[in-house]
Amino acid sequence: MEPSNISGEKRIIVGVTGASGAVFARRTLQLLEADARVEKIHLVVSGSGLKLLRDELDIGISKSARVPSALAGHATGKTEYLLDSDIGASIASGSYRLHGMLVIPCTTGCLAQIAAGISSTLIERAADVCLKQGHKLILAVRDAPFNRIHLENMLRAQLAGAVIFPIIPAFYDRPKTLDDLVTQFCCRVLEMLDLEQDRQYRWEGEAKRRKK
């Protein structure tokens, strides 16, 4: 059997933890859902992540199995929702064919667990598996300011193979709405997963900018 990234149909894990920025999780899921190159999305939301979805997006936690459709805004065909406590899920094993994983938003707590190699939840275990198997792991860390422990954990995770992609949006594309800003950030994240994005703004140099 071919790995999913060779066959061109990618299986991707999206972890959502309890850092502010639920809109980034929502847009990422929507972009992945609409992407024909993506065969399957495994969505795992931590307990604090569920609280975040309720606080920032009014997505109720009582029927958590409906989280994917509530997040994506329509019934989803390819997103499998997994409980963070489901440590026996397929994605907890290195034998599972996977393209990569992103945690968006990623708390400093989740970062710390990953950097320390502690796999007590499914998100942490799946991230650990990505690092040991050499799959791409993107951590969209969000907090401000960062303390020394956060910075050291980012370095530790990066040295182990993770991409530290803090939620720091760009402004040189002159976003007109929050939606523009969020979409551009999520496109950048997905390009790091080798999913080229048509909507990605590309800087063409100052000469072109002046002509506009």
Ligand X SMILES: Cc1cc2nc3c(=O)[nH]c(=O)nc-3n(C[C@H](O)[C@H](O)[C@H](O)COP(=O)(O)O)c2cc1C
What residues make contact with ligand X under the rule CB under 6 A? 17-20, 46, 48-49, 107-110, 142-143
Cβ-proximal residue to ligand X, closest one: 18
**Please, which residue, 109 or 169, has the CB nearer to ligand X?**
109
Least distance in Å: CB of 45 to ligand X? 8
Q: Minimal distance in Å, beta carbon 125 to ligand X? A: 13
Question: DSSP assignment, residue 145?
Answer: S
Q: Least distance in Å: CB of 200 to ligand X?
A: 25
Alpha-carbon distance 103 to 132, whole Å? 17
d(CA 135, CA 183): 24
In the bound state with ligand X, the residue whose beta carbon lies nearer, of 12 and 154, is: 154
> Tokens at residue 19, please?
């850092």
Nearer to ligand X, 51 or 74 (CB): 51
CA distance 83 to 15: 10
| Nearer to ligand X among residue 38 and residue 59 (C-beta) | 59
Beta carbon of residue 56, minimum distance to ligand X (angstroms, whole number): 8
- Gap between the Cα atoms of 157 and 150, Å rounded: 10
Closer by beta carbon to ligand X, 38 or else 162: 162
As a whole number of angstroms, the distance between CA 189 and CA 23 comes to 14
- Minimum distance from residue 83 beta carbon to ligand X (Å): 12
Q: Render 71-127 in DSSP notation, one character per residue.
A: HHTS--SSEEEEETT-TTSGGGSTTS---EEEEEEE-HHHHHHHHHT---SHHHHHH
Closest separation in Å from C-beta 140 to ligand X: 11
Nearer to ligand X, 19 or 71 (CB): 19
DSSP H or E segment with residue 149? helix 148-159
